[in-house]
Amino acid sequence: MFFCFLGFCISRSEIQIMLARFTDHRSLCRATAIGYLFLLLFSFFISISTSCSNGNCQILDSCSLATDCGPGLYCGNCPALGKTQPYCIRGQATIPTSVIGGLPFNKYSWLVTHNSFSIVDAPPLPGVQRLTFYNQEDTVTNQLMNGVRGLMLDMYDFEGDIWLCHSFRGQCFNFTAFQPAINTLREVEAFLSQNPTEIVTIIIEDYVHTPKGLTKLFTNAGLDKYWFPVSKMPKKGDDWPTVNEMVQANHRLLVFTSVASKEAEEGIAYQWKYMLENEAGDPGVKAGSCPNRKESRPLNSKSASLFLMNYFPTYPVEDEACKEHSTQLADMIGTCYKAAGNMMPNFLAVNFYMRSDGGGVFYDLDSMNGQRLCGCSTIAACQAGAPFGSCKNISIPTPSPVTNTGGSFSGSVQFSRSASTVYHPNHLIVGLLSFPWIMLLF
């Protein structure tokens, strides 16, 4: 436990040590104790006077309130790395097209949330205790506002409708269901309507068997008007249209399915015809290795121009995510870059995207886009119209995103009641799955 005042934080153990020093009259004479106390108080007030607050704190600065940190930052910590004192952590992505625009869609790297719908404290069905994993901490709307541009959604037939669900063997249960898919798709529609230059990608793990079910779903959600037609997707690894062309044609929604037959039946692109992908789960986070998913062609294949990099463990744990999104992630990006024949990932899929030890996934995306768009170590150093390799002289990491196009922050990582050090629902699920009998439920 720590106590904060005006940006200065001190732990209970530190207070106990100081009190012990003050009261140990056997080792300190009264005059020395008074002098020590005076110096300590002087240092304390100097710290207060020089600390930041009221939105002036930058990345890695100490903080005590959500409002202390500047735009695009929040006040949090990372106990998994021993960083228990609160400090400002980045929470918003740079939209690369706002810095270097007009390039083919496949020349950019975008943030993707794995199981975007699986949100901590999402209400279960009435009278049902949900028993499943959670992967994110804020709404899909908030994810999009914070710079997420790809959503991974698991869709199932359930209760006469199409639902977002976690499950096994292709069947959704009431204790693994989240909500009708149309609710989330309407959030996407509202975002695209309010942000006419943005492009969103949806990747569906598809267990829908209702004939034309997905077609009706997207039409009813009002998303058909943004649909990028399969006929215009490059088939042999060629470049995609430019982002400007996609915006002008209003082809701002890319949708991929895991079912090959639906490309012919419903005009929904079969994911692995257009996209390379590494293995998901624990194999995708193993240091020094980046194997392709079995449905995908080899990562160094030149027959597809999009590359989805998965980076999340099989069993998601909230308080470990900040550690996963530290140097481990940067190293894995380098490993997958080499495995793909020096092809930078276009999509980076993660759990609990906001959690990190500082810059996290946002910093790594800036680095990926900087290298591919302008030959610089970060997109913050890119200069529109300048020759490739002409970089601005900036400090690393950047204190905040290059652009602040919007976003809704709850301050510290308190997106829900369960996102705390007291109770982590995924710990319970991992524990239950350690018993073989629980798998009989699925």
Q: State the CATH number of the domain containing residue 135.
A: 3.20.20.190
Q: Is 103 within a domain? A: yes
Please give the mean pLDDT across all residues of the chain: 84
The residue among 318, 304, 327, 266 whose CA lies nearest residue 430 is 318
Which candidate, 69, 65, 112, places its Cα nearest to that of 89?
A: 69
257 lies in a domain? yes
Residue 424 lies in a domain: no
Containing structural domain, residue 236: 92-381
Does some domain include residue 120? Answer: yes
Q: What is the pTM of this model?
A: 0.83
Distances (CA, A) of 113 to 3, 49, 203: 34, 40, 10
Could you tell me if residue 363 is inside a domain? yes
Percent of the chain topping pLDDT 90 = 74
Does 35 reside within a domain?
no
Q: Is position 386 within any domain?
A: no
Tokens of 235: 């088939």
**pLDDT tens-digit profile of 14-35?**
545 444 444 444 444 444 444 4
Report, in angstroms and rounded to the nearest whole number, the Rg of the chain calculated over CA atoms. Answer: 24
| Residues 289-341 pLDDT 10s | 999 999 999 999 999 999 999 999 999 999 999 999 999 999 999 999 999 99
pLDDT for res 51? 66
d(Cα 123, Cα 170) in Å, to the nearest integer? 22
Report yes or no on 75 lying in a domain.
Answer: no
Q: For residue 248, give every residue at least 6 positions away whose Cβ sits within 8 Å of its Cβ, in sequence order, or none.
A: none
pLDDT at 269: 98
CA 360, CA 74: separation in Å to the nearest integer? Answer: 13
Please count the structural domains in the chain.
1
State the CB neighbour count (10 A cutoff) for residue 280. Answer: 18
- The pLDDT-based confidence of 170 (bands split at 50, 70, 90) is confident
pLDDT at 439 over 70: no
